[in-house]
A = this chain, B = another copy of it.
């Protein structure tokens, strides 16, 4: 079934059928009804591909995330997906698998599929090569980043990591904790820099010194948190009375280590995570953490992107900042 068939059956031109399909004016009531009747009698669906070729838009966007099966990115996905389906866009899935090569490949695959725009949770780090993304932006290709990349003029959606970290650490101080450690994320992560900054600011504001032994790179997984926990709390030397962690997995790993060492949470040591993954609720010590509104970020990114796509030219790169709030549970 093509538009020609419908035109023939209705004895009109395909231009008229097209007008009916797209609710364009200039078709008499009677004709419109007759054509519409035939269209749904034969259950005709216009070819999306042909339409795309003609109007130069595929009504689809690409989403390239860091890891497909990471609950945090998964929540971003859900937000993007929801916003897109609401606005009639479909989404292509891509993943950078944590490597720059793969990231660029995925982006290229999407661009090649001629998506109308792209949402990216960019990899970060000193050795980040900006050129490819910059080219894309120079070509006016609609692009929205979730998370910052320096020197790139596009739409960006973020949370105020530093402020959230500040709030969390202040809360610990307010509870009487004075020796507070930070279990840091990967050194290449800008999120980590920002969270550290909040930590630093909170301590500085209360005139508490930062002990170098208390700032440890634990990465972003369970194992890192556990390992650093065993080392710091199992080894010799002073022990902190609270730990602010880069993310929830690290916090859970740490708690696991603490329990193994028979150190009580929160009595002996308070722990705060970041992200509020589902797991926090299920854990036997429900984790105090910072709600990272991943789904909302996904939605915001999609809305921003689609706005960008549909505005075309005169569009100014926007920046959306969402709030991350502290969720108090029993680990503090």
Contact surface of A with B, Cβ cutoff 8 Å: 45, 47-50, 52-53, 58, 60, 63, 68-69, 71, 74-75, 77-78, 81, 85, 90-95, 106, 109-114, 222, 249, 252-253, 256, 259, 279, 281-284, 295
B residues less than 8 Å from A106 (CB atoms): 85
Whether B259 contacts A282 by the Cβ 8 Å rule is: no
A–B Cβ pairs within 8 angstroms, 13 of them: A49-B52, A50-B53, A63-B93, A69-B78, A74-B74, A77-B93, A85-B106, A90-B93, A90-B109, A90-B110, A92-B93, A249-B282, A256-B284
Specify which chain B residues have a CB less than 8 angstroms from the CB of A78 in the assembled complex: 68-69, 95
For the complex, what is the distance from the CA of A171 to the CA of B279, rounded to whole Å? 28
Q: Are B90 and A91 in contact (CB under 8 A)?
A: no
Interface of A is mostly: helix
Cβ-defined contact, A281 with B222, below 8 A? yes
Q: Is there an interface contact between A85 and B109, defined as CB atoms closer than 8 Å?
A: yes
A227–B294 Cα distance when bound, in Å, is: 29
In the bound assembly, the distance between CA atoms of A219 and B206 in angstroms comes to 49
Q: Which among A45, A71, A94, A259 has the highest number of chain B CB atoms within 10 Å?
A: A71
Given contacts A53-B53, A81-B93, A282-B253, contact A112 B69 (CB under 8 A): no
A90 to B107, CA, bound (A): 11
Residues of B within 8 A of A71 (CB): 69, 71, 74
Q: Say whether, besides A49-B58, A114-B47, A282-B279, A68 and B81 are in contact (CB < 8 Å).
A: yes
Identify the closest chain B residue to A222 (Cβ).
B282
Q: How far is the CA of A47 from the CA of B159 in the complex (A)?
A: 37
Task: Given contacts A47-B114, A69-B78, A279-B282, list 10 more A-B pairs with CB under 8 A.
Answer: A48-B113, A48-B114, A63-B93, A68-B78, A69-B295, A74-B74, A91-B93, A249-B282, A256-B284, A259-B284
The residue that A77 contacts in the complex, of B50, B68, B279, with Cβ under 8 A, is B68
- Residues on the B chain within 8 Å of A295, using CB: 69
Q: Is the CB of B49 within 8 A of A114?
A: yes
Question: CB-nearest residue of chain B relative to A111?
Answer: B45
A45 and B112 CA atoms in complex are apart in Å by 7
Q: Are A90 and B92 in contact (CB under 8 A)?
A: yes
Question: Complex Cα distance A47/B111, Å?
Answer: 10
Residues of B within 8 A of A110 (CB): 90
Closest residue of B by beta carbon distance from A226: B282
Residues of B within 8 A of A81 (CB): 68, 93, 95
